[in-house]
Structure 1
Amino acid sequence: MEEKQSIVLFPFMAQGHIIPFLALALHLEQKNKNHNITIINTPLNIQKLKSSLPQNSKIKLLQIPFISSNHNLPPNTENTDTVPYNLVIKLIQASLSLQSPFKQLIQNLITQQPHHKFSIVSDIFFGWTSTVAKELGLFHVVFSGCSGYGLACYYSLWMNLPHRVTNSDEFLLPDFPEARLIQRNQLPNNILQADGTDPWSIFQHKNLSDWVNSDGILFNSVSEFDSVGLSYFTRKLQIPVWSIGPVVLSTGTGSRGKGGGINPKTCLEWLDAKPSKSVLFICFGSMNTISDKQMMQLGTALERSGRNFVWVVRPPIGFDINSEFKAEEWLPKGFMEKIVETNKGLIVNDWAPQVEILSHGSVSAFLSHCGWNSVLESLNHGVPILGWPMAAEQFFNCKMLEEEIGVCVEVARGKSCEVKWEDIVEKIEMVMSERSESGVKIRENACKIRDMIRNAVKYEDGFKGSSVNGIDEFLAAAALSKKEPQQCQ
């Protein structure tokens, strides 16, 4: 009997990780209806995923047991969206307890489907799954929702901690000099404070070291503009690296934020009434917010710029992220009244239909935290970026977008930097103004990247794009893999 392919996907418990995994699962299902696709996650995340799957999808959702209160976390803490940043490391440490139940779930699937050939696609935070795959004799790959460049910087920083051996504010990465100079204020706080013995360092050193045991890495990126970062991993790990992006959710797929939001129809009708390329979209992702001082400066900048805008807001740092947004406290005096009067702006609480907004003809630029999902969604529609990176590899995504491919201008850096409204206005005008030479160039570059992205996923008239090749090579390697379970010692 011919073996049927079963692919098990296991994302980390964070929306920024779950969304690209869901997109990949749907992409794999569309690629071959005969593939059995299963997504494993904790109970509350599975509940949320149920509402995100199209009705005609046959993707299976499988719960892995997890009780957050057993790990000194608040009850029902199963996603980074629901915890303050200082507890994220506790959730990551708690995820190590999933090893035994994960192995048991995979063994159960193998028993239930004896004529299936299983492959595991795991998150970048679940390096330990490569050991489970090895023990069971299964093909295993890591799937990165990050860019190759951004993740190469992040990987190199954690593995080398180069900022610990210099007092300089600028330094090179010892095994990734192609990134040129890294600035100390580009380091996320957890790396900046790392000394090799702290909880983050201990977790990441073991986690990242485990990747070498995988059979390959999938990147949600495009080789034509991300080859420098992708080449780093080929060289460093000596395993296949496949770029398969952009793997993004189509419009209407996926779930809302934590309960706020706007009706997509209302938002799109507002955009329909605006001139072409006249709107600035502002959103900092599902995990980020800015300080109250930064928020006040950004609000003032939007008023003074006179530009149309859609701004997804959340309470500033230091306030309950799930609480009501208090515009009268956190925005300039009379701000809401003015935008109602002039109809220049749309303030949205917590969630907006991002893909639909970025694909709308009235949108000219995107002020973003440079999370890679958001970057791909923006560039997929030729929308240039105003960068305000805040955490993780976002600083290096922004660096690549600005220095390597010229589609971005950095507005600010981090959640605690001082920002002035005058500087924000200047950057907005630099990107959006028809009279700005640099803006014209940035917009042209964004359109070139859009075309590269579309070519990467094209498969017609004998032409096969690089990302189509990438997914085909991965599936072929999984199908041809002949691995044996390790014998118990």
Structure 2
Amino acid sequence: MASNDHHNHRHHVVLFPFMSKGHTIPVLHLARLLVRRNATVTLFTTPANQSFISDYLSDLTTTRTFSILSLPFPENIGDGVPPGTESTDKLPEISLWVPFARSTHLMKPHFEQSLESLPGPPVTFMVTDGFLPWTLDSANKYRGGIPRLVYYGMGNFANAVSRDVSEGGYIHRFDSDDELFPVPHFPWVKVTRNDFDQPFTDRKPSGLHFEFIMDCVVSAVNSFGQIVNSFYELEPAYADFDPRTWSVGPLCLIEHPRGGESGRKTPPWMEWLDGMLEKGKPVLYVAFGSQAEISREQFREIKTGLEKSEANFLWVVRKNETELDDGFEVGSRGIVVREWVDQREILGHQSVQGFLSHCGWNSVLESICARVPILAWPMMAEQPLNARFVAEEIKVGIRVQTSNGSVRGFVTAEGLEKSVKELMEGETGKEARKKVKEFGDAAMEAVQEGGSSWKALDDLLTLLHGSETHSR
């Protein structure tokens, strides 16, 4: 038991994740972790997302110290967002993300009303997504003010590097999008302008997207601190860059009790993996997340590249990526899945020996925890930075080869074929496999009692208990 658990039962924590699976799932793991530390937890969501959360946290729904509350979400956002959309995975295209994210502030009156009427002990602090900047004002209003911690769903490396190159317009000193330049506080790290998305690369940023990002930045700066889904041993220099961050992960290692799942039917793709294991055939897992938009031409190159690589593969695709149906015969070497999958379950299968990934932070951590090396193919957001971290900083993977060497370059079938073979069979792949095992072992130690992440959460809860006592 934690040394300060006798304090923790006094905490009533509000959690409010952004309406996106990649942002929500780690916060659900955090909810389970806080309940185990004897905190009372209230998690806010919207009606369309509640059933997913209730199912995911079925072990907590009968616990008196945990509850889920739904807030009405605006039905007609406009700007092309289909009515009734309450999650980013339901958006028909990624360009609608900004109006969707901006519309969440319409929930603010309902959120504040619900906060005031919550049963049980008063709320002592809240953890809300960085894309819900308006919740800082709600935290400041609640009974004289409570601490708000930010959760962004990114690692310390991407967070620190982004801030460092943005300050003082440093990124705009370089004209070429593909010119490598050193990061001021971390000169051993070399990045390009193409490692960053708009509006960060705009010399004179403006518009609704920029205004929303600035709202998020200002809100984060004025919050108590940041919860990071990482562990100190993975990125120590970058964790130390901001003393107001607490690395409490990998949150995916906070296990769901599986005692009630004995009757669960084994999915066909897991049966296929079992068969590959029996035959002694290693498998490449391929998944690019739920948000990435891949062109028809690029899809053809992926198909051809996988076929030529002769690797066994399991490819999870979005339902709207029907281009795969156009004459793609995977035969016995591959399987294509068009359903939602338990990614950790797949990565944890003994036959899976590589992961062709978009390098979303959740995927990076899950791959590390499963000791599976990564073939990094970033698509958007901070993923190019995550790919640099994976391949150049901790060396648990390699970069996919683009046709022109650019971070955002086109990947030909030949480039993909060569990259897959290097990861699965080459010397660099073997070294990555050794490295990822080391970090995977360190991740397990971090979340155990006495580990760095365990201590970080314990320190945070004690600090917040002290600030709450002082404020009375």
Band the TM-score falls in, shorter-chain normalisation: 0.7 to 0.9
Structure 1 residue 27 corresponds to structure 2 residue 33: yes
Q: 2:117 aligns with which of 102, 105, 108?
A: 108
Distance 1:171-1:419 versus aligned 2 partners, 3 A rule: closer
Inter-partner Cα distance in structure 2 for 1:157 and 1:105: 40
Distance 1:158-1:247 versus aligned 2 partners, 3 A rule: same
Per-residue deviation, 1:101: 2.5
Q: Which residue of 2 aligns with 1:82?
A: 90
Q: Is the 8 A contact 1:405 1:445 kept in 2?
A: yes
Q: Is the 8 A contact 2:183 2:190 kept in 1?
A: no
Q: Which residue of 1 aligns with 2:3?
A: none
Q: Is the 8 A contact 2:247 2:453 kept in 1?
A: yes
Q: 1:242 aligns with which of 228, 246, 249?
A: 246
Structure 1 residue 12 corresponds to structure 2 residue 1: no
Q: Which residue of 2 aligns with 1:211?
A: 220
Q: How does 1:352-391 map to 2 (within 5 A)?
A: 352-391=341-380
Q: 2:434 aligns with which of 434, 444, 455?
A: 444
Distance 1:448-1:90 versus aligned 2 partners, 3 A rule: same
Q: 1:421 aligns with which of 389, 403, 413?
A: 413
Per-residue deviation, 1:134: 2.4
Inter-partner Cα distance in structure 2 for 1:383 and 1:93: 37
Structure 1 residue 63 corresponds to structure 2 residue 107: no
Unpaired runs of 5+ residues, structure 1, are 235-239, 254-261, 315-321
Distance 1:390-1:70 versus aligned 2 partners, 3 A rule: closer
Q: How does 1:140-159 map to 2 (within 5 A)?
A: 140-156=148-164
Q: 1:297 aligns with which of 286, 296, 301?
A: 301
Inter-partner Cα distance in structure 1 for 2:344 and 2:431: 24
Unpaired runs of 5+ residues, structure 2, are 1-6, 259-263
Distance 1:175-1:130 versus aligned 2 partners, 3 A rule: farther
Q: Which residue of 1 aligns with 2:106?
A: 97
Residue 135 of structure 1 aligns with an amino acid whose one-letter code is: K
**1:49 aligned counterpart, secondary structure:** helix
Q: Which residue of 2 aligns with 1:133?
A: 139
**2:235 aligned counterpart, secondary structure:** helix
Per-residue deviation, 1:278: 0.7
Residue 418 of structure 1 aligns with an amino acid whose one-letter code is: F
Inter-partner Cα distance in structure 1 for 2:385 and 2:369: 19
Residue 111 of structure 2 aligns with an amino acid whose one-letter code is: F
Inter-partner Cα distance in structure 2 for 1:119 and 1:156: 28
Inter-partner Cα distance in structure 1 for 2:271 and 2:159: 38
Per-residue deviation, 1:438: 1.7
Q: Is the 8 A contact 1:154 1:392 kept in 2?
A: no
Q: Which residue of 2 aligns with 1:272?
A: 274
Q: Is the 8 A contact 2:77 2:99 kept in 1?
A: no
Q: Which residue of 1 aligns with 2:467?
A: 481
Inter-partner Cα distance in structure 1 for 2:214 and 2:60: 41
Q: 2:445 aligns with which of 455, 472, 487?
A: 455
Residue 101 of structure 1 aligns with an amino acid whose one-letter code is: H
Inter-partner Cα distance in structure 2 for 1:178 and 1:208: 24
**1:274 aligned counterpart, secondary structure:** helix
CA RMSD of aligned residues (A): 2.7
Deviations 1:322-365 (A, max 9, x none): 54724343xxx4x32xx33xx11011014222111100111110
Per-residue deviation, 1:6: 1.1
**2:384 aligned counterpart, secondary structure:** helix
Matched length = 446
Deviations 1:114-139 (A, max 9, x none): x4442101112123322322232212
**1:389 aligned counterpart, secondary structure:** coil
Structure 1 residue 468 corresponds to structure 2 residue 454: yes
Q: Which residue of 2 aligns with 1:399?
A: 388
Which segment is superposed worse, 62-71 or 174-183?
174-183
Inter-partner Cα distance in structure 1 for 2:257 and 2:380: 27
Q: Is the 8 A contact 2:398 2:429 kept in 1?
A: no
Structure 1 residue 346 corresponds to structure 2 residue 332: no
Inter-partner Cα distance in structure 2 for 1:441 and 1:297: 27
Per-residue deviation, 1:245: 0.5
Per-residue deviation, 1:178: 4.4
Residue 63 of structure 1 aligns with an amino acid whose one-letter code is: S
Per-residue deviation, 1:456: 0.6
Q: Which residue of 2 aligns with 1:36?
A: 40
| TM-score normalised according to structure 2 size | 0.87
Distance 1:185-1:147 versus aligned 2 partners, 3 A rule: same
Q: How does 1:245-264 map to 2 (within 5 A)?
A: 245-248=249-252, 250=255, 264=266
Q: 1:122 aligns with which of 128, 144, 159?
A: 128
Deviations 1:170-205 (A, max 9, x none): 365776444733212222255445732222221112
Distance 1:429-1:70 versus aligned 2 partners, 3 A rule: closer
Q: 1:220 aligns with which of 201, 212, 229?
A: 229
Structure 1 residue 430 corresponds to structure 2 residue 422: yes
Identity of paired residues, percent?
31
